[in-house]
Amino acid sequence: MAKPKDIFASRIGIIIVGLAIGCIAASLQKFGNPSNMGVCVACFTRDIAGALGFHRAGIVQYLRPEIPAFCLGAFLAALMFKEFRPRTGSAPMLRFILGMFAMIGALIFLGCPWRAMLRLAGGDWNAILGIAGLVTGIAIGVIFLRVGFSLGRSYTSRFPVGLAMPIVMLVLLLLAIFYPKFSETSALFQSTKGPGAMAAPIILSIVAGLIIGFLAQRTRFCTVGAFRDLILMRDFHLLSGVIAFVVAAFVMNLIYIQFNPGFTLTADDGSVSMQPAAHTTHWLNFCGMVLAGLSFCLAGGCPGRQVFLSGEGDGDAAMFVLGMLVGAAVSHNFLMVGSQVMAPCAVVIGLIVVFTIGITGRSIPVLSR
């Protein structure tokens, strides 16, 4: 009989890791990543979709090495600590759909929960609406969980099931490093202006991604679980990590002179501009994140967490990640990003779909004597 003893599983462990991720995120911005984006899982997955040619938004196409590095860092951690376990079978198709709508919601706000925190830490007050929406979405998800919502069990599966996503991510990482362009009009695409053209030196991005993936796999860092556990269980464990993440990013932003408070930015000559990659349509910022928060909550974790789980062999989380990739393409191809014309329509359709998944999710028998 052993008792769980693991520094990473402790309160101090997750706080230290939250601080580390916050410092790394703000530093990546300092070294070239887009402002208040740092390590946004939604934005960077969207950029990857663009690089692969899945959407045509020319300013957000870049094969971000951070995302594959997240997965591979988590993969290494899982192997080292004997936690790699191939598994699947918990409603993979529904997880794909949840991943799609989580992404569609997040891109209406212009950021996943990670970026919501980073935007707050950078002084973008539109993030307050986004975080309020996120918490609302999670709270709705908690109601479903309280009445027994479940996507069903996953089961141990064969080795290739668990290995598939790390291999896909390794291929993406190699593509990011060598960045082949097969012809003038073919992939890989790379933005020459806009956020897609802003990037930290690739070696920094890869090392940062691997470190974050490793640490997050060990601590189970999760920005959605943080609020879910607080509401559902009165458990501050994960939230203490997320608070540390915001505080560290805020302090680093002050040091790097990256903190610019306001809903909009006012230049010295009095001209007003938007915060970086942001809009001020408050109801859409809120509702987009309600959709994202509910989708993440029903799927069991934030976008980062889904990437880390896919690295430790969870084939269902891998389906969610692929759903996010497709969702990003759909968002841009159908003008549903930010305050674009189809965004309100996307919120309504998304909420109908995700509520339907929530309502039809059955509890499963768990008691035996």
Partner 1 sequence: MTDMEKIDARGLSCPQPALLTKQALKRAGEGEIEMLVDTMTQVQNCSRTAEQLGWKVSYEESEGIFEIRLRK
Contacting residues toward partner 1, per CB under 8 A: 1-4, 6, 9, 81, 83, 85, 87, 89-90, 145-146, 150-156, 220, 222, 225, 228-229, 232-233, 235, 237, 299-301, 316, 366-369
HSE-up of residue 237 (Cα within 13 Å, Cβ side): 14
Which of residues 46 and 87 has its CB atom nearest to partner 1 in the complex? 87
**Residue 56, exposed/middle/buried by CB under 10 A (0-12, 13-18, 19+)?**
exposed
Q: How far is CA 310 from CA 184, 246, 317, in A?
A: 34, 25, 5
Q: How far is CA 351 from CA 132, 147, 287, in A?
A: 16, 19, 9
Which of residues 124 and 314 has its CB atom nearest to partner 1 in the complex? 314
Q: Which two tokens stand for residue 179?
A: 């960045």
Q: How far is the CB of 336 from partner 1 (least distance, A)?
A: 27
Q: How far is the CB of 120 from partner 1 (least distance, A)?
A: 24
Hey, what's the torsion of the CAs at 279, 285, 97, 205, to 10 degrees? 50
In whole angstroms, give the CA distance from residue 124 to residue 122: 6
Q: How far is the CB of 9 from partner 1 (least distance, A)?
A: 5
Q: Which 8-state DSSP code applies to residue 10?
A: S
Q: Which 8-state DSSP code applies to residue 87?
A: E
Q: How far is the CB of 301 from partner 1 (least distance, A)?
A: 6
Select from 217, 225, 258, 254 the least CA-distant residue to 242: 225
Select from 142, 132, 88, 90 the least CA-distant residue to 109: 132
Q: Which two tokens stand for residue 320?
A: 């969610």
Which of residues 77 and 131 has its CB atom nearest to partner 1 in the complex? 77
Q: How far is the CB of 49 from partner 1 (least distance, A)?
A: 25
Which of residues 89 and 344 has its CB atom nearest to partner 1 in the complex? 89
Which of residues 74 and 291 has its CB atom nearest to partner 1 in the complex? 74
Which of residues 65 and 86 has its CB atom nearest to partner 1 in the complex? 86
Q: How far is the CB of 304 from partner 1 (least distance, A)?
A: 13
Which of residues 38 and 137 has its CB atom nearest to partner 1 in the complex? 137
Q: How far is the CB of 87 from partner 1 (least distance, A)?
A: 7
DSSP for 265-333 reads EE-TTS-EEEPTT----HHHHHHHHHHHHHHHHHHTS-HHHHHHHHHTTBHHHHHHHHHHHHHHHHHHH
